Structure 1
Amino acid sequence: MKKLLIGLVLVVVLIFGGLKIAETVVMGGTDYYVQITDDGTKTLEQDDSGNAITKYSYQLIGYDKEGQEKVLDFSAFKDRPLKRDAYLKLTWNQKKGVTSYEEVQKNDLPQKAETKLSK
């Protein structure tokens, strides 16, 4: 009975560990910081149901926490462009590109990224 319980706990731990690793590899990545400097490129598309979708595409230079530069391509599916001069934290994955973004305040930027973005 004890061996069965230990085996079951081990299986559960391995499953959760595997899921966490998969999440990190597939969806995780390196955080880069950008400042929105233009309105992006607006395009109109259709979803699978034929509904109109507005997309704004951006290509901006981002900086990681060490100040390393990377050109980042990403899109925002919104009715309007992203707020000009806003700071964003983008998560970039080598296999999927930019997987997420969120607005951050200037005082939340890592020092080296803030220095590069302020130039």
Structure 2
Amino acid sequence: MKKILIGLVSVVVIAFIGLQIAQKVVSSGDEYYVQVTTDGQRIDSKDDSGNSYVDYKYSLTGYDDEGKEKELKFNAAKNRPLRREAFLKVTWNKQKGVTSYEEVPQKEVPKKALAKLGA
């Protein structure tokens, strides 16, 4: 019984660590900063169960902390557009594209990126 319990605990721990590593790999990437300048393109869709939902599609120019430019395309799964003039820190991954974004205060945007954004 002890061997089974130890084996089960080991499998759970290994699976947990593997999932944590996979999450880091998928969500890691380069950080870019954008300023929301449009309301985005509204997309009304339905999920597999037939429930309606709204996405907003964005294509914005982002800049890294050195001021290098990248065109970033992503969807915001919200029932309203992102706040205009908001600054976002966007994580971009070579395999997945944009993996995440979060609103940040203007003072947290690196100076070179801020200068390119015109703020």
Compute the TM-score of the two structures, normalised by the length of structure 2.
0.80
Q: Aligned residue pairs: how many? A: 106
Match of residue 45 from structure 2: 45
In the TM superposition, what whole-angstrom CA distance separates every residue of 1:21-54 from its partner, at most 9, and x where no partner exists? 5444321000100000000000100112111010
Query: Tell me, what secondary structure is at the counterpart of 1:116?
Result: helix
Compute the TM-score of the two structures, normalised by the length of structure 1.
0.80
Match of residue 61 from structure 2: 61
Structure 2: runs of 5+ lacking an equivalent: 1-12
Match of residue 8 from structure 1: none
Query: Tell me, what secondary structure is at the counterpart of 1:25?
Result: helix
Structure 1 vs Structure 2 CA RMSD: 2.0
Match of residue 81 from structure 1: 81
Distance 1:76 1:20 in 2: 24
In the TM superposition, what whole-angstrom CA distance separates every residue of 1:64-99 from its partner, at most 9, and x where no partner exists? 111100000000111111000000000000000000
Query: Tell me, what secondary structure is at the counterpart of 2:116?
Result: helix
- How many percent of aligned residue pairs carry the same amino acid? 55
Change (3 A) 1:27 1:105: same
Structure 1: runs of 5+ lacking an equivalent: 1-11
- Please list, as runs of the form range in 1=range in 2, the aligned pairs for 1:10-49 lying within 5 A after superposition: 16=17, 22-49=22-49
- The runs of 4+ residues in structure 1 deviating greater than 2 Å are 18-25
Match of residue 72 from structure 1: 72
Match of residue 105 from structure 1: 105
Distance 1:40 1:29 in 2: 24
Distance 1:58 1:92 in 2: 14
